Structure 1
Amino acid sequence: MVTVMGWISIILFTLLVKGKSEEQACKLIGQTGYLEFSKDGDLIIGGIFSLDSTQVKMDYGYQAHPSIFCSGLNPRELLFARAVIFTVEEINKNSNLLNGVTLGYRLYNGCEGDSPIRAAIEAVTAGESCSKRVQALIGHSSSGVSKDINRIVGVLDIPLISHLSTCACLSDKRIYPTFFRTVPSDKFQISALVQLMKHFGWQWVGIIHSVEIYATDAAAEFIKQGKAEGICVEYVISFDMYDTKIEHKVTEKLKASTSSVVLLYMSLFYMRVLFKMVDVNNLPRKQWIGSESWISQVDLASVGSKNILHGAMGFALPKSIIPGLVEFLLSLKVSDEPESVMIKAFWESFFDCSFSPSNTTKLCTGDEDLRTISSAYTNTELRSVRNVYTAVYSIAHALNALLQCENGFNPTTGKHCVNKTDVQPKQVLEHLKLVNFTVLDGNKVSFDENGDTVAQYDLLNWQYKEDDSVKVINIGHYDNSLPEGQRFRFTPNTTIVWALNGTEPPKSVCRDACPAGSRKAIKKQAPVCCFDCFECPEGGISNETDSSDCFECTVEFWPNEKKDKCIPKPTEFLSFTEIMGTVLTAFCCFGVFLSVLIFIIFLVNRETPIVRANNSELSFLLLLSLKLCFLCSLTFIGRPSDWSCMLRHTAFGITFVLCISCILGKTIVVLMAFRATLPSSNVMKWFGPTQQRLSVLGFTLIQVVICTLWLTINPPFPKRNVQSFKDKIILECALGSPIGFWAVLGYIGLLAMLCFILAFLARKLPDSFNEAKFITFSMVIFCAVWITFIPAYVSSPGKATVAVEIFAILASTFGLLICIFVPKCYIIIFKPEQNSKKHIKSKMQSKGI
């Protein structure tokens, strides 16, 4: 860096001195002679290419100036230089462009180190001859070198157009004000690579990049853009071939990594070294994703063993056809550049011959055919060469626009016309920003405010065939000028080959996506792609993968089994179709049948003593009320409605009061009948049939009044109970007024207790058929059932509450029916001899009554 800054200071000082005195001789300090190809013209285009790849410095101590020599021929750079020559000649033949003005060129060789900088200085100062300076420069292929060159030429307002420098850093116009490029910035390539990985779901990748400036910056940009799209980087290896431990680092990382996809961002030279290393160490196969600098270079197939690059994928510059260029390049002869030592050196390298007689190599004739060899120079795909072609045309169009003149003014800028002899680089710079033309292959060329051109790439896929040949297939295209979402597309009817699975894209994630029904939890101190998955809690759902949270269903909905959507909760009520409802209905029907059967038996035998005893009218009314009790339990079964909710509770309350009132009347009759047998007792006249009917009616009317008030003030109503169960809705009848419900139940309980007490007192009275004992026993069952009902009713959930209530109704009703009437039916049917006046009188006499 010190040397570069030193040269910058020298050139600026030289120019300042020249500017102060036009008579002062022009002289460059330091080594010159980097010019390789030149042709004179009215306007000059310069170019800097690394025709040699290695710089050798000869240090003579303090006896002489150190000398710099270049070695290691670079055929691809010769291709670029020859493309400039072809394009300039094509433009000079075009009468529609720069009509009457000829272009010339000066192409310099700058291998590495300080050489490109020295070559640039020589170009902008016109060398030792101090002839016409270049109006614009083309080059360099390296982003790092282009940065250094632009720091020099930017001060002089000389535009520099690079055909291959992709570092995004060069788009900063504050630092590189005169830099342009016909190759897309790495920022666009990184965007394309991120979209590619997003398309295939590769969220967990490794990066190996060279230590070159363009690769280092590109890796940082990929990490930045990838993070925004949810792509995580498992590891980053800065590949320095001069690092003695680099092989160990690469080997250990690739063996230990869990990612299947590796982004290789480095130049072709570094790639050769890396793949040899991968081959020698027999490292695990990965899905290689390449940068444009190497992905299209088929000669890489010769590195390492077969299939090492099988399935590799990456973006390359678009392939194009430039008419006449291939013929021009391949028709090169030494005689075309007789003074060029460089062409002879390349020729000897291409054909393994020598222009000097030698016993070890054959003699070069200079007429060998380049079509017979395979080299980077003879590569006819012309991907990056198109950028050189476009760069020359961009300068030509800028010059053409600058030299236009209408009525003494330039139609583009409105300034005074400029003569070809007065053209200044700054003017070229201004018009270069405005160029907008279409090249022969149909692509439009223009520069944005950062000096970048439209980004277009071909997506390539390496495919090895059975005959050991390799094909690099174009499987897609990326165009940054299109709207977002349409920029990336695959070529129809093309087959993609993958490195790991052959026909299926590899899977490369740190953690599989959390399925719907679970949530994602980020791990502390871990990349966002490495997370935990937890099942949604009860009542929660997530309806998409990788959901960061679960959502509660609303009160009337509940998650399905997968917990990925809310479904309506099932509604539940005691129905006639389910087993419990069917069984209870069957018992209800049996109870009604039994009541009707007993009613018929009593009706047939209504004149017998056992039926007439204790008021047969009350017995028939009691049987009717018991039948109604059985029937009222049916109102508790089925879907609750407004009418059913009001009916079930009122019908239950009134029928049971009617039933208990009848039993209470029968109990009082037993007591009164005993009192009536005493001498001078007329108690029966106070509780005769009329009074019995009125007592039953009175007791029942009280319940009717209670039910009427309940229904009027706050009646029962159907309710969707969502609190008792989380996963279902209970359709039930809300009590409306709890006071009304417990008043109805309490009144029944009060009558039952009164009846029980009276029956208990009369249990040993010598009645004819011991009815008081049966009533007492029936009331014990009745009270036991309903006392047990209260805690069971309160604690039973859902439809079990209704089932408990029905069971209590049926149990108590059956208890009354069986205890009071079945013994009498037994006598009527099986012991008819006991159902006679004679038997009754003999029984009473035996008891001394």
Structure 2
Amino acid sequence: MGICIWKESMATKTILIVVLLLDLQCQMVCDTHSINCTPCDDPLPIFHEFYQPGDFIIGQIVSHIFLLHDSPSFQEQPTEKLIDERFSVPKHYQNILALVFAIKEINENPKFLSNITLGFHILSGYYLAKITYKATLNLLSTHNMFIPNYRCDAQERLISVIGSRLTETYASMATILTNYKIPQFTYESFTPAHGDRILFPSMYEMVPSESFQYMGVAQLLHYFKWTWIGLFAVDDDNGEKFLQTVTPLLSQNGICFDFILRTPKRTDTNDLIEQLLSLLEKYPVLVNSTANAYFIYGLSTSMYTLRMLLGMAQQSSLPPLSKVWIVTSQWGFESVSLQRIWDTQIFHGAISFTVHSNQPPGFQNFLQIIKPSKAKGDGFIQDFWEQAFDCSFKHSDESEEIKKPCTGEEKLESLPGTLFEVSMTGQSYNVYNAVYAVAHVLNALDTFQFKSRALVQQREWKFQNLEPWQLHHFLRSVPFNNSAGDAVSFDERGELRAGFDVTNWITFPNNSFARVKVGRLDPHAVPGNALTLHEDRIVWPRSFNQVVPHSLCNDPCHPGYSKEKKEGAKFCCYNCALCPEGMFSDQKDMDACVKCSEDRYPNKKQNECIPRTRSFLSYKEYLGIVLAVMALSFSLSTALVLAIFVKHQNTPIVKANNRHLSYILLISLLLCFLCSLLFIGKPGKVTCLLQQTAFGIIFSMALSSVLAKTITVVLAFMATKPGSRVRKWVGKRMANSLVLSCTFVQSGICTLWLSTSPPFPDTDMHSLNGIIILKCNEGSTAMFYSVLSYMGFLAIVSFTVAFLARKLPDSFNEAKFITFSMLVFCSVWVCFVPTYLSTKGKYMIAVEIFSILASSAGLLGCIFSPKCYIIIMRPELNNAEHVIRRKK
């Protein structure tokens, strides 16, 4: 005779109230409305159950049949009736087999829990919170006795429970079991919409959190540059929480949505059909959307209704959808029995984040021996067999629909993958690992008891009296390797340390499919690199012809353009604006154009930066060669004139106007011609220091020589007058002093310039597009113009004095020649200033060189060419008599 143990607690009182409400529900309605009622049966029957005894029981609540019902009414007795068995999900039967297989393996292993046997108790929840609540209370009762909180068999203990995702359905299970601190395992993702983790401390998740999945989806969209997508969410609290979580995450990653479609949750049949018809009116939005990527919150129930919607569209001859479907891990590409013949080609090329799974050795052999005739106590297999193989074990002539009889020898391998898979799915693999997690904890506790007998005797503790709450510490601290070779462990939050596989789904015309692993989402990777993809393995929907599809609001902006906000549209929709001058964009859809580096500039299309051409006046180009040849030619001419003057130095025409000044002037002009060569070639440190300073000092010497010659003419004329005091100023001393003093002033200015802010080699990258101008920076612009101003002052003084002395009697009329030469000189440099300032690059240097050559040539030609003409061509005029005659 069994002994029943009663436990008094707050949870007990709550459970008793629930039980009373369940038992009295039918009778209260009958009495209230005076309806003739038969004695009330169980208002919420559970038809599917699988039990195997053992020392410790692992419970499981599964859902494989949709229990649709009409809207409740108080005009008749409420019922929960099964509309049709064809609404079952045969694929979920593998979750049951995974638990049975794991316990069978453990019990048959003599080296593992040798003195303990594990049993199981599996019940169906039918996707309804009410029945799930009752199934949970059944697990807390002795088998076949619905008396929660009593244990009438000391040999059987409920040690843990395995359930599906934590939705409003399974939140009922978690709420009850948390009061008992019984370990609960979910083999689908945890949904925060139905409670905080703090409310369910006994929960262990066999799948990483959904928020990690969403982050992976955002990285996937970002990888393919899909910024314009469609969102599908079930119309319930889960869908609302999904949208509240995902939309900000997508916005942070530059992704927005074209539409949000709320798929109906599984409710009563009338509402479901009405909502599907309403959604069918929105079907053109799905077809005509420019988004090619659709992100689905892939709850199984929402996927079934979505497939119903697509099936209705196909039957209505509406155009098919050709999109890339991105789904979360809850979807296992499964079908309800009614959808066995529905086309799955619309999901060809879908991408999902799937729970990592492996194949435990012996599982497929275990499936091969599964037969209805051999499965004793299995209350699920008959319904599964009939729905999966579309046959019937019943032989009734009154059946409305005649089905082929089931032989019981059908092969599971012959079923399409949407109905059943012979390889272990991710959900089944999680169930398998959950069973082994409990078994390893029991094994650890058993080993602990064996090694600590003294401690056991002292505390009077026996392994058979183990309570479920005592497993929690070990569950978080006992990692293990399963038979498939994968490491299994939980973190301090009770979440499995694992990632997701990125799976590409390939469908075939016979409704079979293949999974192709194309990537991995690793939670332990470096932030930002959690997602790895093998793009070459991905098979896209057939309409894209294996070309990576675009999912954008508008055509991308090509290189050379940048995105420009479109008024009144979402941030993913934009116009394309040409890059401003001097800027470029070398990628598609750049937010803004950027500047090139200093040594580069945009090409004409403004889509890349090309190296700038370095520009300077070189000896290798025609302009440099011409100017160099001119400078050398004038230098040789000056040297020739100097040689002529030296050779004929004693002739009257050479001695007439102070031959020493003529020598100084000729040497100065020779140096002027040669200094122009400093401006040709690549600017260097030495050449930059010498260019303007040498030019300024040498030209100042030349101009002071001209000024001295002019003053000498004037003084010579004035000295001829009787009693003139000017006679003492006539001679070499005065002329040399004037030349030296004028040159010294310019030298002082140049010395100050070099000591304070000397010229240096520099580059100009902004004056000419695409060209780096190599030049000499003056250092101090004020000093540069001071040098030029001083030369201008000397030129003006020389011109003024020469102009005033142009009519003085002179045998060779040198004052007139000096006047004309200074007129040429001043004209050249007056034209030089605006021309110099209006040109850029090497042409500025060319203008300066030309001005130096032209002004120097003007002095040389106007002053010395008449004298050379007389010396060479008219030597008879170069004598004292002619000079005296001219003077008289």
TM-score, reference length from structure 2: 0.77
Residues 34 and 464 (structure 1), Cα distance of their counterparts in 2 relative to 1, 3 Å cut = closer
Instruction: Give runs of aligned pairs for residues 599-618 of structure 1, distance below 5 A.
Output: 599=642
Q: CA deviation at 1:385?
A: 1.8
Matched with 2:25 is none
1:665 aligns with 2:706: no
1:182 aligns with 2:206: yes
Matched with 1:22 is none
1:566-616 deviation per Cα after TM superposition (whole angstroms, max 9, x unaligned): 999877655544544444333333333333444556667777776666566
Percentage identity across paired residues of the two chains: 27
Structure 1 range deviating more: 696-705 or 220-229: 220-229
Matched with 1:760 is 806
1:83-127 deviation per Cα after TM superposition (whole angstroms, max 9, x unaligned): 333333333323333333333332222213322222222322346
Say which SS state the counterpart of residue 715 (structure 1) adopts: helix
Letter in 2 for 1:11: I
Letter in 2 for 1:36: E
Matched with 1:119 is 135
Residue among 718, 737, 740 paired with 2:759:
718
Q: Is the 8 A contact 2:163 2:186 kept in 1?
A: yes
Residue among 159, 164, 169 paired with 2:183:
159
Instruction: Give runs of aligned pairs for residues 15-94 of structure 1, distance below 5 A.
Output: 31-34=44-47, 36-56=49-69, 66=79, 68-69=81-82, 71-72=84-85, 73-94=88-109
Residues 475 and 341 (structure 1), Cα distance of their counterparts in 2 relative to 1, 3 Å cut = closer
Task: Show structure 1 runs of 5+ residues with no match.
Answer: 1-6, 18-26
Q: Is the 8 A contact 1:409 1:417 kept in 2?
A: no
Instruction: Give runs of aligned pairs for residues 71-220 of structure 1, distance below 5 A.
Output: 71-72=84-85, 73-113=88-128, 114-126=130-142, 128=145, 130=147, 131-132=152-153, 134-140=158-164, 143-169=167-193, 172-211=196-235, 214=238, 217-220=241-244
Say which SS state the counterpart of residue 128 (structure 1) adopts: coil
Give, in whole Å, the separation in 2 of the partners of 1:815 and 1:633. Answer: 15
Give, in whole Å, the separation in 2 of the partners of 1:398 and 1:505. Answer: 48
Residues 170 and 176 (structure 1), Cα distance of their counterparts in 2 relative to 1, 3 Å cut = farther
1:322 aligns with 2:363: no
Residues 364 and 713 (structure 1), Cα distance of their counterparts in 2 relative to 1, 3 Å cut = closer
Q: Is the 8 A contact 2:696 2:791 kept in 1?
A: no
Residue among 781, 784, 787 paired with 1:741:
787
Residues 382 and 696 (structure 1), Cα distance of their counterparts in 2 relative to 1, 3 Å cut = same
Q: CA deviation at 1:700?
A: 0.7
Q: CA deviation at 1:426?
A: 3.0
Residues 788 and 98 (structure 1), Cα distance of their counterparts in 2 relative to 1, 3 Å cut = closer
Q: CA deviation at 1:11?
A: 2.1
Give, in whole Å, the separation in 2 of the partners of 1:823 and 1:540. Answer: 60
Give, in whole Å, the separation in 1 of the partners of 2:397 and 2:413. Answer: 23
Structure 1 range deviating more: 637-646 or 826-835: 826-835
Say which SS state the counterpart of residue 862 (structure 2) adopts: helix
Residues 672 and 142 (structure 1), Cα distance of their counterparts in 2 relative to 1, 3 Å cut = closer
Q: Is the 8 A contact 1:618 1:665 kept in 2?
A: no
Q: Is the 8 A contact 1:161 1:182 kept in 2?
A: yes
Matched with 1:255 is 288
Q: CA deviation at 1:441?
A: 0.5
Residue among 328, 332, 341 paired with 2:370:
332
Instruction: Give runs of aligned pairs for residues 551-590 of structure 1, distance below 5 A.
Output: 557-561=598-602, 574-590=617-633
Structure 1 range deviating more: 488-497 or 411-420: 411-420
Structure 1 range deviating more: 315-324 or 603-612: 603-612
Matched with 2:397 is 358
Q: CA deviation at 1:286?
A: 1.6
Instruction: Give runs of aligned pairs for residues 296-445 of structure 1, distance below 5 A.
Output: 296-297=333-334, 307-336=345-374, 343-349=381-387, 350=389, 352-358=391-397, 361=402, 364=405, 367-371=408-412, 373-374=414-415, 378-383=420-425, 384-402=427-445, 406=449, 416=459, 418-419=461-462, 422-429=465-472, 431-445=474-488
Q: Is the 8 A contact 1:786 1:808 kept in 2?
A: yes
Q: Is the 8 A contact 1:356 1:363 kept in 2?
A: no
Give, in whole Å, the separation in 2 of the partners of 1:50 and 1:772. Answer: 122
Letter in 1 for 2:421: N
Task: Show structure 2 runs of 5+ residues with no match.
Answer: 1-10, 22-39, 265-271
Q: CA deviation at 1:252?
A: 0.8
1:696 aligns with 2:735: yes
1:482-538 deviation per Cα after TM superposition (whole angstroms, max 9, x unaligned): 665775445799564455544442233457888898877777876555567777767
Instruction: Give runs of aligned pairs for residues 393-542 of structure 1, distance below 5 A.
Output: 393-402=436-445, 406=449, 416=459, 418-419=461-462, 422-429=465-472, 431-463=474-506, 470-481=513-524, 488-489=531-532, 494=537, 496-497=539-540, 499=542, 501-510=544-553, 529-530=572-573
Say which SS state the counterpart of residue 135 (structure 1) adopts: strand
1:340-388 deviation per Cα after TM superposition (whole angstroms, max 9, x unaligned): 7754444444352343343874784764334475166642121122222
Give, in whole Å, the separation in 1 of the partners of 2:783 and 2:307. Answer: 90
Letter in 2 for 1:595: T
Q: CA deviation at 1:722?
A: 6.5
Give, in whole Å, the separation in 1 of the partners of 2:785 and 2:285. Answer: 81
Instruction: Give runs of aligned pairs for residues 215-226 of structure 1, distance below 5 A.
Output: 217-226=241-250
Residue among 656, 665, 668 paired with 2:703:
656
Matched with 2:15 is 11
TM-score, reference length from structure 1: 0.80
Cα RMSD of the aligned pairs, angstroms, is 4.8
Matched with 2:331 is 294
Say which SS state the counterpart of residue 199 (structure 2) adopts: coil
Q: Is the 8 A contact 2:47 2:379 kept in 1?
A: no
Aligned length: 817
Letter in 2 for 1:287: V
Q: Is the 8 A contact 2:504 2:538 kept in 1?
A: no
Q: Is the 8 A contact 2:710 2:802 kept in 1?
A: no
Give, in whole Å, the separation in 2 of the partners of 1:259 and 1:400. Answer: 52
Give, in whole Å, the separation in 2 of the partners of 1:153 and 1:713. Answer: 95
Letter in 1 for 2:422: T
1:723-755 deviation per Cα after TM superposition (whole angstroms, max 9, x unaligned): 895564531444684696267425523640453
Say which SS state the counterpart of residue 759 (structure 2) adopts: strand
Residues 155 and 404 (structure 1), Cα distance of their counterparts in 2 relative to 1, 3 Å cut = same
Q: Is the 8 A contact 1:333 1:366 kept in 2?
A: no
Give, in whole Å, the separation in 1 of the partners of 2:617 and 2:107. Answer: 98
1:627-680 deviation per Cα after TM superposition (whole angstroms, max 9, x unaligned): 4443444445453343454333212211321233234424544x359x57xxxx
Q: Is the 8 A contact 2:661 2:708 kept in 1?
A: no
Matched with 1:276 is 311
Structure 1 range deviating more: 802-811 or 179-188: 802-811
1:237 aligns with 2:261: yes
Residues 777 and 454 (structure 1), Cα distance of their counterparts in 2 relative to 1, 3 Å cut = closer
Residue among 852, 858, 862 paired with 1:815:
858
Q: CA deviation at 1:686?
A: 2.7
Q: Is the 8 A contact 2:449 2:463 kept in 1?
A: no
Give, in whole Å, the separation in 2 of the partners of 1:684 and 1:108. Answer: 140
Say which SS state the counterpart of residue 107 (structure 1) adopts: strand
Say which SS state the counterpart of residue 461 (structure 1) adopts: strand
Residues 298 and 500 (structure 1), Cα distance of their counterparts in 2 relative to 1, 3 Å cut = farther
Say which SS state the counterpart of residue 180 (structure 1) adopts: strand
Give, in whole Å, the separation in 2 of the partners of 1:257 and 1:371. Answer: 42
